[in-house]
A and B are shown apart, each in its own frame.
Chain A
Amino acid sequence: MKSSFSREIGLATEGAKMNTDKNLFHHWCASVSCWWLVLVSLLTFSVGLQASAQTTQPVTRFAAVDVFIDPLGTPLGAYQVEFKATHGDVRLVGVEGGTSEAFKKPPYYDPKALQQSRIILAAFSTDSSLPSGRTRVARIHLQIRGHEAPEYELKLIVAGDANAKPIEAKTSFTPFIEEDPAAETPANREGKD
């Protein structure tokens, strides 16, 4: 056992220089690797924290919703609707008019009823050609904050004919989708000049 041990020692002694170099290299590799792992872990943790911070910060985007009224065949002379976001962090940032000449001007809103994501719109028209079919009466510009998908609700408060007599009507809304710029009219794109 002893000689065997001595032999082993002897072998070790013979290859001591080479083995020592290799061991040192292995130790160095292990040590460097450990430090790399520590650094990488810290880096990963840091990046994760940043990413986490980024996801908790509010993200914002802008969108528009088109509001339609169908007066079911009766010429539409006036309307009042309530629009609100029932889900999501939504802010109203502008109100635009409709497509028909009668309701082209942006409708008025009741400032007293205005909230962050609720608005009551109203308009009337004395135009000679009032729409009697489904028509877009307003476009509502919105800012949406956060990742939650917003949900909206539209209520018709009242619709009237040319003599301000209440009429039956249906309301609907659709998210605005940007048209193909190539198909867009020059008026939409160009300035007045």
Chain B
Amino acid sequence: MRKLIRKWSFDLFALALLITAMVLAGCTSPSAKVGKAPTAGSPDVETRTYDIRDLINAKPDFSNAPDFTLSHPGAQNNPTTQLMGPRGMAFGGGLNRGTAQPPVPLSSLPNPSEELWIISKPKARPAAVDDEQLPRSGALVVKQDDKVLPFPLKHTDVKAQVDGYIASVNVTQQYHNPFAEKIEAVYVFPLPENAAVNEFVMTIGDRVVRGIIREKEEARQIYQDAKQQGYVASLLEQDRPNVFTQKVANIEPGKQVDIGIRYFHTLSYVDGWYEFAFPMVVGPRFNPPHTTDGIGASARGEAGTSGQKTEVQYLSPGERTGHEVSLRVDIAAGVAIEQVDSVNHAIDIAFADQTRAAVSIRESDRIPNKDFVLRYKVAGETLKSAIIAQKDPRGGGGYFTLMLYPPATTQNLPRRPVDLCFTLDVSGSMIGAPIEQSRWAMRAAMDMMQPDDTFQIIRFASNADQLSDAPLQATKSNIAKARKFIENTSAGGGTMMLEGITRSLNQTVDEDRVRYVCMMTDGYIGNERQIIQTTRKLRGQTRVFGFGVGSSPNRYLLDGMSRAGAGAVAYLSLQEKGEDVMRPFFERISRPAMTNIEIDASGLQGAQINPFKIGDVYVGRATIVTGRFEGDGGSIVVRGRVGGEAVERTFDVRPTETGGAIASVWARQQIAALCDQAMFDDAEIDLAKEVKQIALNYSLMSDYTSFVAVDSTRRTDGSYGTTVIQPVPVPDGVKYETTVPEKAVGTVGERR
């Protein structure tokens, strides 16, 4: 028995050891799925994570870089290169152009738990180096006169075709990898607020892959899968109706991937001029404390410091990335073009005939730090009731767009006493030209006031204050008091716009006067929706007017506020005088051209009109209405009041041509209208479902849909590489020091 027990004990022990060995061997078998590098066509998913150590032997490659002289930032006369570690530790240096870099010392690397290495992410800087001279990047830094930094976005080409007042715009972004290892390029960029983005293509060499519209989360997942498995892929996401993020994964060293985007939009009509705008840079925005879904601003290399969902990195003064924009607009006005003008850029104009012109930005003015704003004026009254209709290319019904033109002058319009509240943004981003322009504009408005008008001034930065407890009569002494108040106003601090707009709209309303709030701001905030929603909720009978100042104002905010406030919007560029814009603006708001406007679409079968509610029409500002209908067409009637009289006009809607442009414009406006409805009216609609449905049906970008494109024919070698965030310059006229926080969250205007 003991023998048996003894034998059993040994057998059991041996068995246990054997099983243990087998299990351990099984766990470490090369055939296990975990960690296995996938092969083409394999169903395996690569589960390995990557850390900075994969980049130890990173060797930036400048064989394809522009021809600049390399220079050590701290030694102006000794051309060198420098490779910056993610914590800003300098290593390498002293190398000539194109020379490979020495391996990165392990001690300078961050914690391996920092899985994703952002090239430009310094946290500390060597004390021995001049702080101002030290680039904050893991990229190779090249220096000539300015610091020119090689980042992936090499060039943006814009080609626009304007027919009447509808623009079709093709944007091509060229991403090139100047580094020795694979990268993912990330770029946050603006587009017009009403852009209907409906095409997305990715070009690799001579192959073109059309992107597919997908629900946002699904598109993101597809992109992540493709990125992790080594496929070249791209993703376009909408952060705001006018702010987008482009990601391109697995760009191999020395290779280029082009991204093509097409969108449609209607032009605005201002003072007899059609206006085509192409925004070039997202301005640095202030986000109130404790918000995370805004658009944050951070210094180049300070990724993640803004604490916001979307973040833009800004170049320091004197730095460049080499990214330039070429732009050409072909105008086919249909009638003779009288005049063409560019607000911010030097342009070349070539007329093909009286009705067609080609406009392009001069080579000397291609740095993307200000909006391109092109205006053209046509002769005569031919277009003064322009309606354009197209048949639905998918069959059945059609779409139309109608521009309601106001009278040319205020001459025959009755004046009504006004109660005007100037709401002035005096935050850090307004320092310099913007605040000075606002002062001039306010002085001009006060000069035009009649004794029966009243006014108030509310200014806001980190908090808000006001000129007086109640609106003041526009007497000489009160105007003098207001002027002094304006002169003593200086800019600085955060942008608590919510406090400013709330205080402006909570003022007592005088029934004898038309009350206007004139919001003067660059709009650099991240909580736009909150502001727009508050405007709608509190406005009552008040009309809210946006008065955008600066070279790249936040048009989404200003347009949205004005729409929610049943007002209009005006933009003042740095090249314009404040009083030149304010005088006609004030004259017009005191003499509205048409009020209480209604569209009667009963003459169109199954008509869906946008916008749902139309604000007043003022001289110099046209209103655009778009609609969808079933059948062959019909007519619509516009009714309203001019002065005290009721007026109406009938428009025929009979499409003769087939096309997709107006369909996209209508769908985009339908999405905007649904968002407005949900936001303004607290409407009980399933916004996500409805917007998603329209966006997918019309292949449109939206808050709920994104474009994704994957080249599944080839996997690139190695890991998915390093994420490189494309930094951008601050808009022309905006002070970097007062708008880009160095580290803290929500401290715009409080830096230094």
Contacts and interface: CB of A to CB of B under 8 A. Distances in A.
Interface of A: 22-23, 26-27, 29-30, 32-34, 36-37, 40, 43-44, 47, 54, 59-64, 91-97, 104-112, 114, 139, 141-144, 146-147, 176, 178, 187-193
Contact of B12 (A37, A109, A176, A188): A37
Contacts of A142: 712
Nearest to B8: A30
Nearest to B255: A191
B697 A62 contact: no
A143 B699 CA distance: 20
B696 interface: yes
A47 B226 contact: no
Interface stretch (B16-24, B299-307, B398-406, B574-582): B16-24
Interface residues of B, number: 65
Contacts of B2: 23, 26
A64 B9 CA distance: 59
Interface string B426-449: 000000000000000000000000
A106 B199 CA distance: 12
Contacts of B15: 33, 37
A156 to B, nearest CB: 19
B257 interface: yes
Interface in B221-271: 222, 225-226, 229, 231, 233, 254-258
Contact of B23 (A40, A107, A111, A189): A40
B213 A26 contact: no
Interface in B348-379: none
Interface of A is mostly: mixed
Given A29-B10, A191-B257, A60 B225 contact: yes
Nearest to A188: B205
A141 B209 contact: yes
B712 A191 contact: no
Interface string B189-209: 000000000000110111111
Interface stretch (B323-331, B457-465, B703-711): B703-711
A93 B222 contact: yes
B9 A93 contact: no
A44 B20 CA distance: 9
B212 interface: yes
Interface centre among A43, A95, A141 (most CB of B within 10 A): A141
Contact of B9 (A26, A37, A91, A112): A26
Contact of A193 (B64, B206, B696): B64
A106 B16 contact: no
B44 interface: yes
Contact of A40 (B20, B42, B257, B258): B20
Contact of B41 (A54, A61, A143): A61
Nearest to B201: A106
A105 B208 CA distance: 7
A192 B2 CA distance: 82
Contacts of B202: 94
Interface in B34-79: 34, 38, 40-45, 64
A128 B41 CA distance: 38
B205 A191 contact: yes
Contacts of B208: 96-97, 104-106
Nearest to B34: A54
A23 B174 CA distance: 80
Contacts of A36: 13, 16-17, 20
Contact of A59 (B8, B44, B222, B394): B44
A157 to B, nearest CB: 14
Contact of A178 (B19, B207, B699, B714): B714
Given A29-B10, A94-B709, A63 B41 contact: yes
Given A26-B9, A37-B19, A112-B697, A141 B255 contact: no
B237 to A, nearest CB: 15
Contacts of A44: 19, 23
Contacts of B258: 192
B124 interface: no
A192 B9 contact: no
A193 B64 CA distance: 7
Given A30-B9, A36-B17, A193-B254, A62 B207 contact: no
Contacts of A192: 174, 205, 256, 258
B19 A40 contact: yes
Contacts of B711: 94, 96, 141
A33 B213 contact: no
B697 A60 contact: no
Contacts of B34: 54
Given A33-B13, A106-B210, A94 B710 contact: yes
A88 B180 CA distance: 39
Contact of A94 (B8, B42, B206, B212): B212
A149 to B, nearest CB: 10
Given A30-B12, A93-B226, A193 B176 contact: yes
